[in-house]
Structure 1
Amino acid sequence: MTRLLVANDFIEDQAFVADARLKKTGWWAQRMVWFARDGDVLVMTTRPEDAYLDYVTSLTGTRLATLRVVVPPPGRLGSGVLTADRLADAGFRARLRAELDGRAVDQVLSLHPDPAVVDLARFLGAEHALAGHGFIAQGGGSLANSKVVFRAIAGGVGVPLPDGGVCGTRPGAEELITTMLADGPLMLKHDLRSGGRGNEVLSPVPGVDPVGAQRTVVLPDRAAVREYLAERWDWLTGHGQGRFVVERYFPGSQAVFAEFSLTDDGITFAGQGEMVSAPMAKAEIIPAPGLKPDTVAALLEGGEQLCRPLHAMGYRGLLSADAIVTPDQELYFTEYNGRITGSTHIYEIVGRHIVGPDYAENRVLLEIDGWQVPSFQEGVDLLRTSGLGYDRTTRTGVMLVMAFNPSVDSIRYVVVARNLDSAYEQARELEALTGTSPDSPAPDRTSSPPPPPPSGSERRA
């Protein structure tokens, strides 16, 4: 079986392109290597360094010598993202055909449901190998990642939502925001930006931390709301071309997710966990700790309800249903993401494939960003000499799960442990090797908090 893996992290939408500029080296997209199997052909933003390829395949058991990596020439945004012009480059396509060497492509897997990937598959005569290609080709990937569309679908299927609405006009936004601020803080969300970079918290009073957002803006009255919208309207709406979401903000909430796989055979649960921000996304815990059984059941039931309309529309792939559990233990769904997320390879490859199918029953996966080291190879060497690296016999230890991020000289890592206490302790030991302490999870709950992590932060609301 020959598979084509395309490490594209963004649709070519204005918002996603803005986020792509923050990932100039393409290090984030290199997580695609975790999904590689023998004989796969990988289309990458840049060629991963040998140390990363060696390390990942040594854990997954994939024979590195059987893989082929093809990198298109830089495009209009450089080499950090696989834009459509790069995937359409004639020289690249010729090299890709040569690497396939006459083999038919049986499956096309991409990080993001992008029409440019459909076009590439069609060029190779492999359109049939891309699940949901009809939906993706007509721009469906944007629907599966839109916070505005999410609100409509969530409202339609009846899952619990934070109070709020979708805004497309300035007078309507002013009225909704002013009215809702009378009862407390709000979160404003750009339709398509990711990782909290499109979020802002609005509060009628000072002192509200912007967990999961870029900042908190204090707006004490209607005049302040009007002034804020005049200043931020173009940013919120993409110069008036889009809409944005306003929702109630619950400080101190636990942010959780449940991912599902949508195939022609139906919808199946894939994995769940907690997302931690400080104030932006910094860590995750899989499975989510401290959830009551009825909360887990509600998360999975509501997540599947959100999947059904998209499945009926023809979307095929992964969908992450994001939610919050408030300090009062109320569950509200906040958005969905129709793509291979930054969590997928953690639960699916690190958890299910490497640790074992029972990982969620007797292990905890604690991912933290990021361990500051001079290079990926030095990180590997430190793990080896310290004895902290993952041990297949005990099924515990540390794995480096992302490529080296040169912008901050750090690596994301996962601690596999029998419980959360032990995971935090191993994280402290790891950080002591280099004398650094990354921002990582800190308890901010109203009951049963986990033990303190290496350094302080807050949970995303």
Structure 2
Amino acid sequence: MAKIIIGNQLTEETVEGDRALPAEYLTYLAAVTHRLAWCAEADDIIVLPTEPDTEFLAYVWKRLGIEDARPVVVVPPPGRRGSSLLYDDRLHHPDFIRRVGKLAAERGADRLFPFYVDAGIAGLAEALELKDPLPAYSFLTAGGNELVNSKTFFRTLASGNGIPVPHGRTVNSAAEAADFVRPLLRAGHPVIVKQDVHGGGYGNEILAPAEGLEGYGAERVTVLDGDAAAGHLSDSWARHSHDGRRQVVVEQYVDGSVPIYIELYIADDEVRTVGHGEMRMAPVNNGLVIPPPSAGLPSFPGFLDQARRIGETVRALGHRGPISIDAIVVPSGEILFNEFNGRVGGSTHIHRIGDHLIGPEHWADRALIARSRCGWDSLAGAVATLEEQGLAFDPATRTGVVIAGDSHGTPGPSGQCLIVAHSVPEARAMEARLVEILGLEGD
């Protein structure tokens, strides 16, 4: 049966007030949702916040082999916040509900594939009268999705199961946070303060005792001495704690670490590995390297085993569907876990491309680099250039460049290219050629 893909990138509480993201970034996120086209199958319905490039859709349908039963894209009317993202009022608009209901009946679509499960998705499922809208629907809509997207709950779950995490704690007040932060800053150690529910590093802040730390996984770095920690955290506590409604994670920030992830799919009877890789942070997520270069470390098999333990624990809780688990490789080679996200992620469409174009366990004999924030004047022109230069993906060799995301309707570059090669060095060399022939911005 067909499905209804919903590109709802963010929860409602992360888009207003002092947690609001810049308008340009919201526009970028809208374009990012277009990449969900790679998750489509024949006759699917795709709900997006903005219109994707029709040339991009044709490119995707051709490579997925569904040109004869192509999915249909639906963009709801604008809401009170405009049309940057799929806010609840857009998903609940009567005209939109009627149109999607009609399409679902015509195409036999009986389930949802949302980016994130929240009240808006629950309301949409009820309005469409879907009997079994998604796996573990009752668990997710009863607050389960909050649990599997919570940084504070992750620390609790990981600590209780002997999973290694950075030195840190979950705190309830600015004073409690300052008690943890102060001695670390005085000793010359940076600290990261994490909002409980957010994504891509946004909402996080690194507190550094001296200049010179670039950092990743946070939208800002603040230089601060230990004596000023209490005042700074008091001033910023409303932002960190969602106006006091949520706990906050404070952890020692390990400079020189490399961020990695593993994506799993939690089913009724198994926990399946979708893929794993390294996140390129500049300073927030800006691409992937698959498999991660750290896969050769002695600690990596343990990372895979511990990730599966987390997956099995989450499965026992009742979660079903995708979940991405993030960790860091510290300079010593040890791997520490730091959060999970029980939703579709930035790697989901990449591994879907890998499965379809390269084959299951595509990370075993191919290296992939997903380069984000690519831009071009014409997608057709970019595709033609790749073909002329011999860089376009070749199904026979299972190597080359795939256009993974379009750069349509945004003020800055928002496209994505997926480079597939036999090894990471070969993929990096191919990426350098790609940057040159398409005139992409450098790193």
Q: Could you tell me the TM-score, scaled by structure 1's length?
A: 0.89
Partner of 1:207: 212
- Measured after TM superposition, the shift of residue 323 of structure 1 is 0.5
Aligned 1:90-129 pairs, distance under 5 A = 90-102=94-106, 104-129=108-133
- Write the distance in 2 (CA, Å) between the matches of 1:229 and 1:285: 35
1:361-409 Cα shifts (integer Å, max 9, x gaps): 2210011123332243332232233221111111111111112152313
SS of 1:106's equivalent in the other structure is strand
Contact 1:20 1:80 in 2 (8 A): no
Mapped to 2, the partners of 1:298 and 1:64 lie a distance apart of 45
Matches within 5 A, 1:9-48: 9-14=9-14, 18-19=20-21, 21=23, 22-24=25-27, 26-48=30-52
Structure 1 residue 134: Cα displacement: 0.6
User: Is structure 2 residue 158 aligned with structure 1 residue 154?
Assistant: yes
Query: Do the aligned partners of 2:294 and 2:300 also contact (CA within 8 Å) in 1?
Result: no
SS at 1:305's partner residue?
helix
2:238 to 222, 234, 239: 234
How many residue pairs get aligned? The number is 437
Label 1:400 to 1:20 Cα distance change in 2 as closer, same or farther (>3 A).
farther
Structure 2 counterpart of 1:271, from 272, 275, 278 = 275
Gaps of 5+ in 1: 440-461
Look up the match of 1:6.
6
Amino acid across the alignment from 1:214: E
C-alpha displacement of 1:98? 2.0
Tell me: CA distance 1:50–1:65, structure 2 relative to 1, closer, same or farther (3 Å): farther
Aligned-partner Cα distance in 2 for 1:371–1:72: 27
Aligned residue for 1:426, secondary structure, equals helix
1:394 maps to amino acid:
T
Moved more, 320-329 or 5-14: 5-14
* Distance of 1:39 and 1:417 partners within structure 2: 32
TM-score by structure 2 length?
A: 0.93
Matches within 5 A, 1:264-343: 264-292=268-296, 294-343=298-347
**AA of the residue aligned to 2:20:** A
Equivalents in 2 of 1:268, 1:385: separation in Å? 39
Deviation at 1:195, TM superposition (A): 1.0
Q: CA deviation at 1:192?
A: 1.3
In structure 1, what is the equivalent of residue 199 of structure 2?
194
Inter-partner Cα distance in structure 2 for 1:300 and 1:363: 19
2:400 alignment partner in structure 1: 397
Match of 2:374 in 1: 371
Amino acid across the alignment from 1:210: G
Letter in 2 for 1:205: A
**Which whole-Å CA distance do the structure 1 matches of 2:2 and 2:226 have between them?**
60
Q: 1:388 aligns with which of 382, 388, 391?
A: 391
Q: CA RMSD in A?
A: 2.0
Q: Distance in 2 between matches of 1:253 and 1:205?
A: 18
Distance 1:265 1:62 in 2: 30
Whole-Å separation in 1 of the counterparts to 2:160 and 2:361: 35
| Conservation of the 8 A alpha-carbon contact between 1:15 and 1:192 | no
What is the correspondence of 1:128-139 to structure 2 with a 5 Å cutoff? Answer: 128-139=132-143
The alpha-carbon distance between structure 1 residues 43 and 437, as it changes in their structure 2 partners (threshold 3 A), is closer
1:445 matched to which residue of 2?
none
The whole-number CA distance in structure 2 between the counterparts of 1:91 and 1:117 is 17
Tell me how far 1:177 sits from its aligned partner: 0.7
Q: CA deviation at 1:112?
A: 1.1
Deviation at 1:294, TM superposition (A): 3.8
- Correspondences of 1:165-176 after superposition (within 5 Å): 165-176=169-180
Alpha-carbon distance, 1:263 to partner = 1.5
1:62 equivalent to 2:66? Answer yes
Deviation track 1:164-216 (CA, whole Å, cap 9, x = no partner) reads: 11122121111111023244111111111211112221122332222222232
Q: What's the counterpart of residue 353 of structure 2?
A: 350
Q: Using the alignment, how far apart are the partners of 2:68 and 2:152 within structure 1?
A: 42
Q: What's the offset of the Cα at 1:51?
A: 0.7
Deviation of 1:438 (Å): 2.7
Aligned structure 1 segments of 4 or more residues deviating by more than 6 angstroms: none
Note the residue ranges of structure 2 that are not aligned, 5 or more in a row.
none
Structure 1 residue identity aligned to 2:194: K
Question: Cα gap change, 1:86/1:382 in structure 2, threshold over 3 Å: closer, same or farther?
Answer: same
Of 187, 197, 216, which residue of structure 1 is paired with 2:221?
A: 216
Q: Could you tell me how far 1:151 is from its partner in structure 2?
A: 1.1
Aligned to 1:420: 424
Q: Is the 8 A contact 2:43 2:107 kept in 1?
A: no
Letter in 1 for 2:58: D
Provide the rounded CA distance (Å) in 1 between the counterparts of 2:15 and 2:245: 11
Change (3 A) 1:190 1:15: farther
Counterpart-to-counterpart distance in 2, 1:122 and 1:140: 18
Greater shift in the superposed pair: 375-384 or 364-373: 375-384
Distance in 2, Cα, partners of 1:157 & 1:312: 13
Letter in 2 for 1:167: V
The one-letter code of the counterpart of 1:191 is D
- Whole-angstrom CA distance in 1 between matches of 2:325 and 2:15: 21
